[in-house]
């Protein structure tokens, strides 16, 4: 199955006026795809291939830096929510969540995820994008950014690409809200001053380029919506609502959007958090060979951005979703509190205070 591609140009050109029937139908398509697949491919004319490449080039250079240099940007006292997270720190939820393990063991063999044997062997860099709240109960989730020495273009590149991807997320959030029968700003109003994270990962394919290696074990994202630019190395698998496993192929010029746990909360489970993993596949091996032949970087970089609901906003089923019989599974909770609970499970909060 190919994940559908939605061109955002029609919605963007409609402007602030009343949504016409053609755009309304497109919005219903967006909400339907998110509901059934947990993933959506979009084309946004404001996000170019050149923007993505510029970002990937810089992050490849950073991840290729010496180990001791990268550790200078590590902030375990802030739950690794800014700066670098070294390989071997993030624990895939499927390694510690017994309910999740039971679920995937019951899947048909061809749909089961690859089982990780320990923490993910990937690096990650956390960069906050957008304005922070002046007053918040969750200061450590809204901390100042960390800028590595020797990268004068760092802030401008991170902010530029991050803001463009957030803009794409906001359009999809508006379209999804309309498609779900909610007010246009039902989601975006809750995203204002959220702790949005541009969080590229770096996987060293020289060391970990063996087929079957798990870079990101089977998991869901704890945030609202996740967006990725196209990686230079494939390897992402997602699970549809019917638990079928699909390898995602992101076309050139497209962005991939995935549903997180916060949108599941806001829709009382009508839209579930999408399950996914990143592993070394045969297609990854082919890309490694091509990169080696052309003397290109062998770091697999994902240009991932996690869009969040504001830390002090309350997560609860919205509008007609509050009437769903499943709404009791999603009691009101402050978004920041929810994030802290989730981080504790995957070992990021548990490292607080360690060096």
pLDDT range class, residue 346, cuts 50, 70, 90: low
Q: What is the mean pLDDT of residues 58-86?
A: 93
Q: Which of 220, 112, 127 minimizes the C-alpha distance to 166?
A: 127
Contact 41, 3 (CB under 8 A): yes
The length of the chain is 355
- CA–centroid distance for 247 within its chain: 16
With a cut of 50, say whether residue 354 has pLDDT above it: no
**pLDDT tier for residue 353 given thresholds of 50, 70 and 90:** very low
Q: How far is CA 151 from the centre of its chain?
A: 24
pLDDT, one tens digit per residue, over 238-271 is: 988 888 898 988 899 999 999 999 999 999 999 9
Which residues make beta-bridge pairs with 216? 278
How high does pLDDT run on average in the chain? Answer: 90
Q: What number of other Cβ atoms are within 10 A of residue 50's Cβ?
A: 8
Structural contact between residues 230 and 252, judged by C-beta atoms closer than 8 angstroms = yes
Cα atoms in the Cβ-side hemisphere of radius 13 Å centred on 71: 7
Structural tokens at position 243? 């638990």
Report pLDDT for 131.
81
The model's confidence at residue 350, banded by pLDDT at 50, 70 and 90, is: very low
* Contacts (Cβ under 8 Å, ≥6 apart) of 107: 243
Q: Residue 17 pLDDT more than 70? A: no
Which residue bears the tokens 């918040």? 136
Phi-psi region of 147 (alpha: psi -120 to 50; beta: other; left: phi over 0): beta
More confident residue, 29 or 115: 29
The DSSP output letter for 194 is -
* Least confident interval from 131-135, 161-165, 170-174, 277-281: 131-135
198: closest CA among 162, 169, 243, 170?
Answer: 162
Kind of pairing between the strands at 5-7 and 39-43: parallel
Q: Is 291 exposed, middle or buried, given 0-12, 13-18 or 19+ CB atoms closer than 10 A?
A: middle
The rounded distance, in Å, linking the Cα atoms of 8 and 50 is 18
In the numeric block, the tokens 């020289």 are attached to 206
| Model confidence at 292: pLDDT above 90 | yes
The span from the first CA to the last CA of the chain, in angstroms, equals 45
Distance CA 18, CA 14 (A): 8
Q: Over the stretch 42-51, which tens digit does the pLDDT of each residue have? A: 999 999 999 9
Instruction: Please return the burial class of 15, using the count of CB atoms within 10 Å of its CB with bins 0-12, 13-18 and 19+.
Output: exposed
At residue 42, φ and ψ (nearest 5 deg) are -130, 155
């Amino acid at each position: 199955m190919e994940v559908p591609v939605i061109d955002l140009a029609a919605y963007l050109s409609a402007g602030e006026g009343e949504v016409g029937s053609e755009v309304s139908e497109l919005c219903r398509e967006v909400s339907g795809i998110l509901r059934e697949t947990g993933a959506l491919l979009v084309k946004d004319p404001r996000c170019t291939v050149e923007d993505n490449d510029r970002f990937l080039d810089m992050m490849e250079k950073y991840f290729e830096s010496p180990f001791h240099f990268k550790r200078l940007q590590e902030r375990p006292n802030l739950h690794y929510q800014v700066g670098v997270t070294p390989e071997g720190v993030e624990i895939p939820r499927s390694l510690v969540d017994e309910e999740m393990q039971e679920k995937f063991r019951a899947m048909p063999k061809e749909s089961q995820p690859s089982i990780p044997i320990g923490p993910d062997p990937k690096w990650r860099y956390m960069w906050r994008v957008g304005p922070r709240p002046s007053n918040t109960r969750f200061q450590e989730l809204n901390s100042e950014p960390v800028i590595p020495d020797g990268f004068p273009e760092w802030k401008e590149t991170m902010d530029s690409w991050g803001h463009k991807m957030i803009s794409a997320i906001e359009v999809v959030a508006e379209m999804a809200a309309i498609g779900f029968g909610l007010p246009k700003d039902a989601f975006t109003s809750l995203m204002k001053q959220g702790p949005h994270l541009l969080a590229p990962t770096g996987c060293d394919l020289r060391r970990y380029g063996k087929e079957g290696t798990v870079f990101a074990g089977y998991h869901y994202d704890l945030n609202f919506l996740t967006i990725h630019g196209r990686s230079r190395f494939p390897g992402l698998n997602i699970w549809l609502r019917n638990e079928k496993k699909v390898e995602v192929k992101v076309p050139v010029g497209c962005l991939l959007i995935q549903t997180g746990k916060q949108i599941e909360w806001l829709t009382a489970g009508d839209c579930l958090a999408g399950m996914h993993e990143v592993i070394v596949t045969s297609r990854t091996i082919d890309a490694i060979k091509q990169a080696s032949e052309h003397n290109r970087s062998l770091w697999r970089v994902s240009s991932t951005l996690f869009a969040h609901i504001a830390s002090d906003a309350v997560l609860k089923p919205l509008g007609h979703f509050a009437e769903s019989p499943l709404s009791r599974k999603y009691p009101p909770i402050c978004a920041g509190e929810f994030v802290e609970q989730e981080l504790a499970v995957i070992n990021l909060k548990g490292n607080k205070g360690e060096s």
